A = this chain, B = another copy of it.
Amino acid sequence: MPKPPLPPTLDAFLKSPNPCVIGSAQPDGSPHTAATWYLWEGGRALVNMDATRKRLEHMRSDPRVSLTVLGAETWYQQVTLIGRVAEFADDTDLEGIDRLSTHYMGQAYSGRDQQRVNAWIEVESWYAWNGGQYWDG
């Protein structure tokens, strides 16, 4: 699989507020998937979780993740980012989730009483499809 950086076309694609599913590993090694918001910035992906989310605990134990991003217009455009969480940081002022919420919903996040955590994902390899063909930008 190709290594980063991604070609400009895919970099631009990832900057849109696209649907995304994140895969992580449970303690017994079984895969877990969940839909998620993400922000693509400087070649890294930011995701944000409620601090009580079990997936967060699992990702702290095993930071390896895989994100499949689907095109908002057509899900036959797909970019998958494989890597690991390089940094967990408490989102004490909700700045992270507010940025995500603004990106996707155009407004700050509605849940103001949650404890949340930012996770920055570094990409180690990627692949992409566009209408059934490899997509390399």
Contacts and interface: CB of A to CB of B under 8 A. Distances in A.
A31 interface: yes
Interface string A24-68: 110001111111000000000000000000000000001011111
A65 B21 contact: no
A23 B31 contact: yes
A82 B32 contact: yes
A97 interface: no
Sort chain A's interface into a size bin.
Answer: 20 to 34
A28 to B, nearest CB: 9
Contacts of A75: 19, 35, 70
Contacts of A34: 68, 78, 80
A129 interface: yes
Contact of A68 (B21, B25, B65, B78): B21
Contact of A23 (B19, B32, B70, B78): B32
B68 A35 contact: yes
Given A24-B31, A29-B62, A35-B80, 12 more contacts: A19-B70, A21-B23, A21-B68, A23-B31, A23-B66, A25-B29, A25-B31, A30-B66, A30-B82, A32-B66, A33-B66, A33-B80
